[in-house]
Amino acid sequence: MFRCGRHSCKDYKEYKDILAHTLENYSLRSFTTFKIGGKARYFNVCESIEALCESLGWCTREGVPWFVLGNGSNILVSDKGFPGLVVKLGKMFKQIKFHEDTVEVGAGVLLPVLSRYFLEHQWGGFEFMCDIPGTIGGAVRMNAGTKEGEIKDQFVLALMLTPNGEIISIDKGGMEFCYRKSSPEHKKNIVLGAQFSFSHFSERHAIREKIKQIVVARRQKQPANRRNCGSVFKSPSGSQSAGWYIDKAGLKGARVGDAMVAFEHANWIVNVGNAKAEDVKGLIEKIQHEVFKQYRLKLEREVIYAPDDLW
């Protein structure tokens, strides 16, 4: 799909001359599952490696911060927006190529889409992806998963574009996967795609039934309001989940502005109206304060703040 080696990120012209479709002061609200967030100073959909290189080259020269936005399902964009370039990956990065015992997946492929491909090819072990609303790029970055499985389980390698234009291959050891994160060493690299190994063969009806069970179980405990970011906090070590502590602290239904702790699952915050990023942050701080006061436990955020956690 992509080859390791160096691409020219330095041979650029003026950014707008090369990427004529770059938009300025573009709202990011519709690109996040929270439906919250301000505007990006610059916004572009990159359809090729060359376009990514040109973007990075321009950002490097001008000192402009940047980040690649996947499906926007685990991110809270500031009300003030992002003071640099936000990139979305185009169709070239949404390819899936099956081989005899591996599959190459572009960073822009949605996990539920990939799950359907595994179903058609009768590859078992990937059913956990069926209801995670993220892309492979973001999933690799944070080792996305559920109790049924994680990205690292069948992960072979990731291809990444470095800021200086080199495509590098990082294997599982180099990713240093752990619970909901990977090595910070690769924070400034762009995930282009990943390769996964064959787990085991399963009949389609068996995979379909397992997917159905997963979806039904999640629907029973997840909020009907889909304007959320999924799990807000990482589960602490021990037998109890973050949601359990939040629930026992009496915080279901707690609100700051139009941000509310979901009644169906206490580790989810939903946008019940026109919530602002500051509302969500305020509610997160309130939850952390109450849980710590009652249980002496500091909950760690899973949701990413943009730009605070990125630059």
> Can you give the three-state secondary structure of the chain, one letter per residue?
CCCCEECCCCCCCCHHHHCCCCEEEEECHHHCCCCCCCEEEEEEEECCHHHHHHHHHHHHHHCCCEEECCCCCCEEECCCCEEEEEEEECHHHHCEEECCCEEEEECCCEHHHHHHHHHHHCEECCHHHHHCCCEHHHHHHHCCEECCEEHHHCEEEEEEECCCCEEEEEEHHHHCCECCECCHHHCCCEEEEEEEECCEECCHHHHHHHHHHHHHHHHHHCCCCCCEEEECECCCCCCCCHHHHHHHCCCCCCEECCEEECCCCCCEEEECCCCCHHHHHHHHHHHHHHHHHHHCCCCCECCEEECCCCC
Residue 217 lies in a domain: no
Report how far residue 305's alpha carbon sits from residue 257's, in angstroms, rounded to the nearest whole number: 18
CATH number for the domain spanning 115: value is: 3.30.465.10
Residue 196 lies in a domain: yes
Judge whether 61 and 288 are in contact, CB under 8 Å: no
Count of domains forming the chain: 3
Q: Are residues 12 and 32 in the same domain?
A: yes
Residue 256: which residues within 8 A CB-CB, separation 6 or more?
279, 280, 282, 283, 286
CATH number for the domain spanning 247: value is: 3.90.78.10
Q: Are residues 102 and 71 in the same domain?
A: no
Residue 124 lies in a domain: yes
Which residues does residue 305 pair with via DSSP β-bridges, in sequence order? 76
Residue 159 lies in a domain: yes
Q: Are residues 172 and 257 in the same domain?
A: no
Q: Are residues 98 and 63 in the same domain?
A: no
Model pLDDT, residue 12: 44
Q: Are residues 294 and 275 in the same domain?
A: yes
Q: Are residues 162 and 136 in the same domain?
A: yes
Q: Are residues 197 and 128 in the same domain?
A: yes
pTM of the complete model: 0.90
Q: Are residues 180 and 230 in the same domain?
A: no
Residue 311 lies in a domain: no
- Mark which of 204, 232, 258 sits at the end of a domain: 204
* CB neighbourhood size of 247 (10 A): 17
- Mark which of 30, 64, 91 sits at the end of a domain: 91
Model pLDDT, residue 11: 44
Longest dimension (CA), the chain: 57
Per-residue pLDDT reduced to its tens digit, 151-197: 999 999 999 999 888 999 999 999 999 999 999 999 889 999 999 99
Model pLDDT, residue 5: 59
Residue 18: which residues within 8 A CB-CB, separation 6 or more?
12, 51, 54
Model pLDDT, residue 22: 86
**Torsion sign, CA atoms 73, 78, 79, 81:** negative
Residue 84: which residues within 8 A CB-CB, separation 6 or more?
40, 41, 42, 59, 64, 65, 66, 67, 307, 311
Residue 216 lies in a domain: no
Model pLDDT, residue 17: 57
Q: For the chain, list residues with pLDDT below 70.
A: 1-20
Catalytic residue IDs: 180, 231, 302
Residue 214 lies in a domain: no
Residue 48 lies in a domain: yes
Edge-first strand order for the sheet with 96-98 is 5-6, 166-171, 155-161, 190-197, 102-106, 96-98
**Considering only CA atoms, which of 87, 45, 61, 44 is closest in space to residue 9?**
61
Q: Are residues 123 and 189 in the same domain?
A: yes
Q: Which domain holds residue 50?
A: 5-91
Per-residue pLDDT reduced to its tens digit, 270-305: 999 999 999 999 999 999 999 999 999 999 999 999
